[in-house]
Amino acid sequence: DTAVSQTPKYLVTQMGNDKSIKCEQNLGHDTMYWYKQDSKKFLKIMFSYNNKELIINETVPNRFSPKSPDKAHLNLHINSLELGDSAVYFCASSQGADLAEAFFGQGTRLTVV
Amino acid sequence: AQSVTQPDIHITVSEGASLELRCNYSYGATPYLFWYVQSPGQGLQLLLKYFSGDTLVQGIKGFEAEFKRSQSSFNLRKPSVHWSDAAEYFCAVGAQGGSEKLVFGKGTKLTVNP
C-alpha cells in the first residue's frame, strides 16, 4: 500500500487556469506538508498542517491555498496559474510536529504552458 | 535559521568504487540530519537519519553517514557503488524541539559509470 499518494502524477495546463493536487496518507500521521521542487531541483517547504491546522506558510503567493479536510488529506489548490508555477510538488507526512522525519509522495509534475 | 550546503552538484563514479557525498549544515543547536535519495521520476526516499547517540549511522541500501559536530558535517558514504545508485541525493536538516520543517540542500546528482 502506498503510504503517501498524490494525484495526478502529471498535470499540464494553460496559464490562468485553476488546478488542484490531492494528497492522502495512510500512515496515521498528524502532520502533512507541501514542498516545491524547482527546475534546479531545489526543494523548499510551502505549507505544513498539523491536525488540520496550518502551522507553516512560507511566503507562498496567496494564489496557493492548501485545504485539509481531515488529517489524512492535504490538497493544494492553485488559482490563476503562472509559468513560474511549473515545478514538481511533493506532499509529505510525519508524526508529531517535533519530529522532522517525513515520508514523501512521488510528486506531481506541474507544467504551465 | 538552518541551512544546508552540498558542495558537489554532480559526481561521477565507476561501479564498484567507493562514494562520499558531502553535506555541511548550519544550525545553532543539535540538529536532526537526514539523507534522502530521489531516483529519476520518483519521490524522495529516506536513506538514513541522525537524531542523537552514535555519530555513525547506518541506512538502507548499504549507505552510512557520519555526524561530525566539529565540522558541521554529515557526509554520506558507500563502500561500493552499484549502477542502481545513480540518482539525486539530498541532505536535509530539521531543527530539534519544535520545528516542523526540513531544510534541504540543493542536491548532488550521482552518475555511475559501468
In three-state form (DSSP H/G/I as H, E/B as E, the rest C), the secondary structure along chain A is CCCEEEECCEEEECCCCCEEEEEEECCCCCEEEEEEECCCCCEEEEEEEECCEEEEECCCCCCEEEECCCCCECEEEECCCCHHHCEEEEEEEECCCCCCCCEECCCEEEEEC
DSSP symbol at B114 = -
CB contact under 8 A, B34 and A100: yes
Q: According to the model, what pLDDT value does residue B109 have?
A: 96
| CB-closest option in A58, A92, A101 to B49 | A101
* pLDDT one digit per residue (tens) for chain B, 114 residues: 778 999 999 999 999 999 999 999 988 777 889 999 998 877 888 899 998 889 999 999 999 999 999 999 999 999 999 999 999 999 998 865 445 678 899 999 999 999
Residue B2's SS3 state is coil
| CB-closest option in B46, B88, B97 to A101 | B46
CA dihedral A108, B25, B18, A102 (to 10 degrees): -40
| C-alpha cell at position A9 | 502524477
Q: Distance between CA atoms of A91 and A34, rounded to whole angstroms?
A: 5
Q: According to the model, what pLDDT value does residue A41 have?
A: 83
Task: Find, among B51, B38, B41, the residue nearest to B96 by Cα.
Answer: B51
Mutate to test the interface with B, among A31, A53, A98 (most CBs of B within 10 A): A98
Q: According to the model, what pLDDT value does residue B42 have?
A: 79
Q: Write out chain A residues lying below 8 Å of B103, CB-based.
A: 45
Q: Write out chain A residues lying below 8 Å of B99, CB-based.
A: 98, 100
Q: What is the mean pLDDT of residues A70-97?
A: 92
Amino acid at B44: L
Hey, which bits of B51-86 come out as E strands? Answer: 56-58, 64-68, 73-78
CB contact under 8 A, B106 and A41: yes
Q: According to the model, what pLDDT value does residue A100 have?
A: 54
